[in-house]
Homo-oligomer: A and B are copies of this chain.
Amino acid sequence: VATSRGPSIRAIPSLSFSGVGLVELLSDSQREMLRSMATMQQFTRRSVIFKAGAPADAIFIIAEGVVKSYRDLPSGRRRIAAFLFARDMCGLAKGGQYVNTAQAITPVSVYRLNVSTLAEAFRRDSELELRFLCKVVHELREAQHHTIIVTHRRATARVAMLLHMLERGAEQTGDAGVPIPMTRSDIADYLGLSLEAVVRASRRLERQGILAFPDRHHAKVLDRQRFDALIHSS
């Protein structure tokens, strides 16, 4: 598979005027170089990749699996900042510490890159650095989009937007529809809703014939028109 050639990161470039879709940012030789610098790690479902507050000595590139990046607030609430998939990066730091906790939702394998080694590589290859800059800019746009999603009042619209994200990120859509790897509770923490509100919104979308949930971990779009209307109703 693609991962055998080394770490891969994907983003929509800020500048390139040709093609606005997701593209591979790294050249084959850059991936080869990064692979030689990286160590691979495996994580089982639910295991923590790094904890908020721990010394941030590495960044991670996901080779396989799904990860949630979250912060637990003093109130006991949990806010999920992002769901991360293969070819995404994680390990956002501030003053030498991770700001979020990263936890595996499915079995996960990652490339672990030591930050000082990476900084050294940037010094030698400014083109490589530009690719990472591009990826971070991409994540910044995603974070702004996340803010727009959670400021939407209607729970149905928020749920639809999440499913839209999953649909776009999915490698392939099976006959059962889009896979939903995370729990309803995770979705609630991501969308800034209560668990019950997520359930009720899902049911409403189903009742309205816009979506079907064949099982808890799959969703299928039945009425594309109204689905898109919800997403762009922001």
**What is the bound-complex CA distance between A20 and B177, given in angstroms?**
46
In chain A, residues 56-91, which have Cβ atoms closer than 8 Å to a Cβ of chain B? 56, 71, 73-75, 77, 79, 81
A14: interface (CB < 8 Å): yes
By beta carbon, the residue of chain B nearest A99 is B141
A12: interface (CB < 8 Å): yes
By beta carbon, the residue of chain B nearest A115 is B15
A150: interface (CB < 8 Å): yes
- In the complex, the answer to whether A130 meets B140 with C-beta atoms within 8 Å is no
Given contacts A130-B122, A137-B92, A234-B73, contact A79 B15 (CB under 8 A): no
Interface size class, chain A: 35 or more
Given contacts A75-B234, A133-B132, contact A94 B20 (CB under 8 A): yes
User: Interface 1/0s, chain A 141-158, versus B by CB < 8 A?
Assistant: 101101110110000000
Question: Which of A115, A133, A144 has the most B CB atoms < 10 Å from its CB?
Answer: A144
By beta carbon, the residue of chain B nearest A57 is B15
